[in-house]
Amino acid sequence: MSNMRFGGKNRLPDAFNIEQLNRLFEAINRPKLAIAVFITFFCGLRLNEVCQLRIEDIDLENRKLKVVDSKNTNRSITGYGKDRYVPIPAKALSPLIKWLEIIGSSSKWFLPSMNSPDRPIRKKSLYEQFRFALERANLSIPVYTYYEKKGPHKGQKKVKFKYYFHTLRHSYATYLHGKGVDIYTISNLLGHNHVSTTQIYAHISTTQQRKAIEEAFNTPLMEFRPNYRQTIKSKPQPDDSLERLRLEVEKSKLEFEKMKLMKENQILVSVQNGI
């Protein structure tokens, strides 16, 4: 593992593919972590948003949930975050309803704390549980090491991993973009202040790019011969059916001319014989 610290503003975020998501869910052995990961992926939530989600903010009838007081770059000025509504996909309803039946009315929080049901689960606790699940799924992949440059842990050696809890949110956006959802809709769903923040998902989603390439090159440009030499076709090949029709017309013309000559010969012979 390299000791050099890579990254920067132009670094593309990583996202789970479907096979990795299946491995991740198979590795989760805690119901609370399972439903947290499930709703995070299907609704594109941040770690703090799923931890602070209240039962009263889940509207099953209209299939949407309300994210309250979320991330806001101007929070220090305004004193509060942004609210937004996020649609709940139909496939996510059944597990969601079952989870709400399990926790009942003992807490107002979607993910209540184990020790204090009247309080939500701590971000650190959910984060650590997720890290263990990544390890069990063989998805705890180190990328590089670095040293903290400031704060109480300045100088401490850290490891940068490929996947984090926030990767679920990246996967949500990448999956939607790959399915053809426009970047402005995704930006609103994620709660971004500027669509330019969301543009990064247009770079990491390769599904539409691959489709465009396949459509662009769906006709052969070259002939591949046994000696592996490539000959570019400079002229379009005539259509076989049209070529056959042309030959039939030419054949008919020849037959007509032949019959005409035979008739003329018969007339000439008759004149010569005095008929």
Which of 86-95, 129-138, 144-153, 177-186 shows the highest mean pLDDT? 129-138
Helix, strand, or coil here: 61? Answer: coil
Is the pLDDT at 263 greater than 50? The verdict is yes
Q: Where is average pLDDT lowest: 66-75, 118-127, 233-242?
A: 233-242
- Residue that wins the pLDDT comparison between 248 and 153: 153
**What mean pLDDT comes out for the span 54-63?**
95
Q: Cβ distance 13 to 198 under 8 Å? A: no
Q: What is the pTM of this model?
A: 0.68
Model confidence over 141-175: pLDDT tens digits?
998 998 888 888 888 888 999 999 999 999 999 88
Is the pLDDT at 87 greater than 60? The verdict is yes
pLDDT band at 194 (very low <50, low <70, confident <90, very high): confident
What is the fold of 18-209? Answer: hpI Integrase; Chain A (1.10.443)
Domain boundaries, the chain: 18-209
pLDDT band at 209 (very low <50, low <70, confident <90, very high): low
CA 223 to chain centroid, in Å, comes to 35
Alpha-carbon span 14 to 6, nearest angstrom: 14
Residue 254, both tokens: 């020849």
84 DSSP β-pair partners: 67
pLDDT of residue 117: 81
pLDDT band at 230 (very low <50, low <70, confident <90, very high): very low
- Residue that wins the pLDDT comparison between 28 and 236: 28
The helix (H) or strand (E) run that includes residue 68 is: strand 64-70
CA 143 to chain centroid, in Å, comes to 23
Rounded alpha-carbon distances, angstroms, from residue 22 to 19, 28, 47, 205, 220? 5, 10, 20, 19, 37
